[in-house]
Chains A and B, each alone.
Chain A
Amino acid sequence: MKETQLLIKSIDNNNLWEKEIEIRRNEYLKVKGSIDTNLYFIKNGSLRIYVIDEYEEHTIRFGYQNNFIVSLDSFITERPSDFYIQAIKKTNIKIIPKKTFKNLINSNLELQNVWTKILEQLILQQLERERDILTSSPIERYKRVLKRSPQLFQEIPNKYIADYLRMTPETLSRIKKS
């Protein structure tokens, strides 16, 4: 995505990354209940965001290489969030705190527009996601997501995709074969 690259470049140029960390498979960047206002850039690897409901995990979103990942509720409200963010494989992450990020964005009208664009795209993605969840046929849900983000099927293990699609891994592999 062009906008993301623009943002990264200007964070790079201004030397604003607070630090870089590595987390291994299954380790957590964030757990339930914490206030996490950092913005994370995924240098390589992948992560998932999930919530637990009645002891069951529900995957909400994935984060891929060269993308941002954030606990957006905490980032906006600066309040605790129920999200877990977990590495799916070994992942390297660059961190920029909200305050630093906001200062950067507010200093430059062009960057403000870039950020608005990213948020607009996110809203559109969330609308698509809402329609996914309301789609009752598992096959249709699968087709919608496959069309929208083929990347998902290349980078993420089946058990998490199945969870994201709200079906069992068995159903997913049956649909994939047919």
Chain B
Amino acid sequence: MKLNTEELIAELIEQTRININKVEKFRELSESELNHKGNIEKWSVLECIEHLNLYGVFYNPEIRKSIEKSISKPSETFKSGIIGNYFVKTMLPKKKLNKMKTSKDKNPLGSSLNINVIDRFLSQQKEFLELIKKSKNVNLTKTKTAISISKLIEMRLGDTFRFIVAHNKRHITQAENVLKQPAGNKV
């Protein structure tokens, strides 16, 4: 799949703005609302966001490193890879959110969480916007990043960006759904 680089970047930034605005809204909730869970195995709003923070802790430095190392020149088009496109597609929320597995190290279940989780997310997103800006100096197809679940696979930077934005969107939607559910209701 080919995309216009400039349009892709504009879209990533706009989606990030929307993600930030949605999480800014969570900041106005009480700590008990933020910690509320549908049931014991489900994630609360804060657990959803903390899950994203755990990804950010891996991906922000990884992306920074890959941009700094890259000697490629920017290109007008970005070509999505097979693996990258697959991961992005699995992230896109369907009408009814499908369940997915989370690796242990990215599972926030049971950790003690407070409002700092939201502040950390927001500052990570600002760093992410900075990284998107920096990426304009390199080729999004030729620059590769590691991925969090396997050391054997590399992803094209453009796909890594698309994956992260889609992954954020997915779990923010999940967090919004938590708030819609009455207590103790199984989905």
Interface residues of A (CB under 8 A from B): 23-28, 30-35, 52, 55, 80, 82
Contact = CB atoms under 8 A, between A and B. Distances in A.
A150 B133 CA distance: 37
A161 B14 CA distance: 28
Nearest to A31: B17
A35 B136 CA distance: 14
A33 B129 contact: yes
Q: How large is the interface on B (under 10, 10 to 19, 20 to 34, 35 or more residues)?
A: 10 to 19
Contacts of B10: 34-35
B9 A27 contact: no
Interface stretch (B19-27, B88-96, B108-116, B175-183): B19-27
A48 B28 CA distance: 19
15 contacts: A23-B21, A24-B24, A26-B24, A28-B24, A30-B17, A31-B13, A32-B133, A33-B13, A33-B133, A34-B13, A34-B14, A34-B17, A52-B130, A55-B123, A82-B133
Nearest to B16: A31
Contacts of A23: 21
Contact of A33 (B9, B21, B27): B9
Nearest to A84: B126
A174 B132 CA distance: 41
Interface of B: 9-10, 13-14, 16-17, 20-21, 24-25, 27-28, 123, 126, 129-130, 132-133
What is the predominant secondary structure among interface residues of chain B facing chain A?
helix
Q: Which of A23, A24, A34, A35 has the most CB of B within 10 A?
A: A34
Contacts of B13: 31-34
A126 B20 CA distance: 30
A80 B13 CA distance: 11
A31 B123 contact: no
A30 B17 CA distance: 7
B24 A27 contact: yes
A24 B130 contact: no
A55 B123 CA distance: 8
Contacts of A55: 123
Contact of A26 (B27, B129, B130): B27
B126 A52 contact: yes
Contacts of B14: 34
A54 B9 CA distance: 22
Contacts of A28: 17, 20-21, 24
A24 B126 CA distance: 19
Contacts of B130: 32, 52
Nearest to B21: A27
A28 B14 CA distance: 10
A110 to B, nearest CB: 36
Contacts of A80: 133
Nearest to A57: B126
Contacts of A26: 24, 27
Contacts of A24: 24-25
Nearest to B22: A27
Contacts of A35: 10
B59 to A, nearest CB: 17
Given A28-B21, A34-B13, A80-B133, 5 more contacts: A28-B24, A31-B16, A31-B17, A32-B130, A35-B10
